[in-house]
Structure 1
């Protein structure tokens, strides 16, 4: 127990050093820029912002620190070190892959490719097991962060659907600066270093290029940037986020287990190196396929106007309206289009009563006073019926699309 307490103390002392690293604040600025872009997108499309970017950054900061602590515990428990891990090769390749598609910047792809090249040609000299374990730990942290906060502040969007025309959905985008601890290896014990004797079974991930009998593991504060992007069309963001987190946790757990085996059995190095990019790409595409083939929640109803999003503290929220509800009539006037709402708004009624259908197909009634200024806005996003609206389309990932195009090209005659 004293060993565990001492290691946790070292981690808690090391993480603030990562937070005060200038690169951490650089990552934080990048996170703010991403959230500011999302806010500008919402303002342009709907005329309001769901969540202030500063508030989102603050939330991401707290979740990132928490995730970094848990990730550090896993790293130390496994004994994952950066000795020969190949990070100096992985980062440049990840940036190059990003030019093909942003999602390819993930270390699963660059780490897997570098590992396979190292295994086949012997250069660069890489600790495949350690590198794959690090990728697995980062994805485990990411799965936790997605579960806790990936569904928060999801942005409403309109999607072009081949069968149904315009449908509604949510764009889930979250970014986290993650300060955490990695291990590096030195020989001998430097003066002034508080050392801890580890059990004989440790490290679980054994580095191949180090004499463990004379090795000293040092805790090194580092910074990672994790991100999550997905669409929720057939489920609400909360349920979609939990499912994505669970699938990613399974992937990361399997990758870590393969890394442990790879540190002992050479054959599993090949399995782990291939599993990282292939498994990650499979996760992405299986999620997209499920969303595209499933029945979307937010379609145009036979009559009335379906609510996609309810703005916080808006009149609609105070009236008890929720996403998925269908507005049938307002002040005894049927509502079947945006124009119908505009006509009601033009009258600026001081009192509003509404008939709507909830998600359980129950007819409900609600009312609210707008005295003395009159009704101006409900504070909702509605699925358009025939109106022209900015919409996005879901396409296959660039990697799969490029592979298909490569093999579908006909030879020239």
Structure 2
């Protein structure tokens, strides 16, 4: 069975749809790169490197998800996703974050349960949503903190704080089981245990035959981090999402033989997912922001890749107290030290855990012209402040209102 899964999974790489999704991922990273150039003056990671990393982690996550789908016997039908995709796109017009199968899948399942149409395998659809989010949690844990974009954002109290916009995208091939109703097959089948599949569609018997189909999806992770480092935030987000996905998969298993549990799973998918988002926002709104100006020294918001600060080991959130023994309390103080182009520097720092450290760096051949640091501004307003992007419908409404207002 394992070899059959791997062999079937490898066929995903020759599907044109997979490479269309890769192209979409590339376009997203190109947009991120243009933002980095505007903010940092350079690109942290080449677009090609980002896309290759996303393909690697996407294939890894998809393979794990495919094993779960097949070994648990999560069975789909050919109609469920046909209703979910259009609704997901429609919900995206209300808010971009609603482009998620948790919302569309839950709504479609509830409509099917209440009205009897469309006829779909609710348990199978909810299990698929759970497995997709399980894969997403794995990818966020391994890869979610990368491609961070430093930002400044205005909080509800009017204060402006620094932070990061985390954005990662992955092309995901995934194997799905579909009940085969065609001509009798002679050979080429793999026997399965009596308990399999765990989630059965109506009409499935011990003699039923299933085929494995390749599906292609895209997963994305977006988050705003103000109160902790990107690494810590991605880990905590991944753990919460993992808990959500496990609960949804377990509910789906019970829903295979219980109408009441079908309702429970269909309700939990959108409500549970929305609760995760609201809880994350609550943490950011109520938590103590990390990237604010300190009373003494200058706080690091971001370091440029392979720059002197990065090579020394400086990280976001660190507070620089002294450079070569000279106190720094403004960017102009830092520029005064670097104006001399020293060949050797030592930097006294307090890290995010409150530990005082000293970092050293030397360049005797060329001298050190800059540290490669984006600081949290002190006593000045940042040059850029971001806010949550409005939905397509909100932008359309604003354009119509502005046009009518001019007449």
TM-score of the superposition, structure 1-length normalised?
0.88
CA root-mean-square deviation:
2.4
Relative to structure 2, which stretch is displaced further, 288-297 or 307-316? 307-316
Tell me how far 1:130 sits from its aligned partner: 1.1
Q: Render the CA deviation track for 1:138-196: whole Å, top value 9, x for unaligned.
A: 11111111111112232222222344733222222111111121111113665465101
Aligned to 2:137: 143
**What pairs with 1:315-330 in structure 2 (closer than 5 Å)?**
315-330=308-323
Q: Does 1:185 align with 2:179?
A: yes
Q: Render the CA deviation track for 1:96-136: whole Å, top value 9, x for unaligned.
A: 11111111010011111111111111111111111111111
Aligned to 1:403: none
Cα distance in 1 for residues equivalent to 2:131 and 2:350: 45
Aligned to 1:80: 74
CA contact (8 A) 1:168 1:299 kept: yes
Residue of structure 2 aligned with 1:228, choices 218, 221, 231: 221
CA contact (8 A) 2:95 2:390 kept: no
Relative to structure 2, which stretch is displaced further, 167-176 or 100-109? 167-176
Aligned to 1:277: 270
Cα distance in 1 for residues equivalent to 2:182 and 2:342: 80
Q: Does 1:340 align with 2:333?
A: yes
- Note the residue ranges of structure 1 that are not aligned, 5 or more in a row: 1-6, 400-413
**What pairs with 1:94-109 in structure 2 (closer than 5 Å)?**
94-109=88-103
Relative to structure 2, which stretch is displaced further, 309-318 or 139-148? 309-318
- CA 1:343 to 1:115, structure 2 compared with 1: closer, same or farther past 3 Å? same
Relative to structure 2, which stretch is displaced further, 129-138 or 307-316? 307-316
Aligned to 1:302: 295
The alignment partner of 2:282 has SS state of helix
Q: Render the CA deviation track for 1:309-336: whole Å, top value 9, x for unaligned.
A: 2223211133343322222233454322
Q: Does 1:71 align with 2:65?
A: yes
Q: Does 1:114 align with 2:111?
A: no
**What count of residue pairs does the alignment treat as equivalent?**
392
Residue of structure 2 aligned with 1:258, choices 244, 251, 257: 251
Relative to structure 2, which stretch is displaced further, 86-95 or 384-393? 384-393
The alignment partner of 1:393 has SS state of coil
Residue of structure 2 aligned with 1:134, choices 125, 128, 131: 128
Cα distance in 2 for residues equivalent to 1:270 and 1:398: 31
- CA 1:351 to 1:84, structure 2 compared with 1: closer, same or farther past 3 Å? closer
Cα distance in 1 for residues equivalent to 2:158 and 2:119: 53
The alignment partner of 2:120 has SS state of coil
Q: Does 1:25 align with 2:2?
A: no
TM-score of the superposition, structure 2-length normalised?
0.89
- CA 1:365 to 1:82, structure 2 compared with 1: closer, same or farther past 3 Å? closer
Cα distance in 2 for residues equivalent to 1:354 and 1:214: 72
Tell me how far 1:239 sits from its aligned partner: 1.7
Aligned to 1:380: 373
Aligned to 2:403: none
CA contact (8 A) 1:350 1:369 kept: yes
Residue of structure 2 aligned with 1:124, choices 109, 118, 122: 118
Q: Render the CA deviation track for 1:355-396: whole Å, top value 9, x for unaligned.
A: 433445455444444445443210112111113321223699
Q: Render the CA deviation track for 1:177-218: whole Å, top value 9, x for unaligned.
A: 11121111113665465101211111100102x242442100
- CA 1:113 to 1:375, structure 2 compared with 1: closer, same or farther past 3 Å? same
Cα distance in 2 for residues equivalent to 1:168 and 1:383: 6
Cα distance in 2 for residues equivalent to 1:151 and 1:46: 18
- CA 1:361 to 1:105, structure 2 compared with 1: closer, same or farther past 3 Å? closer
Cα distance in 1 for residues equivalent to 2:72 and 2:167: 30
The alignment partner of 2:43 has SS state of coil
The alignment partner of 1:155 has SS state of strand
Residue of structure 1 aligned with 2:230, choices 213, 219, 237: 237
Aligned to 2:3: 9
The alignment partner of 1:392 has SS state of coil
Cα distance in 1 for residues equivalent to 2:106 and 2:81: 12
The alignment partner of 2:29 has SS state of helix
Q: Render the CA deviation track for 1:245-287: whole Å, top value 9, x for unaligned.
A: 1111111111111111111011111111111111111111111
- Note the residue ranges of structure 2 that are not aligned, 5 or more in a row: 394-407
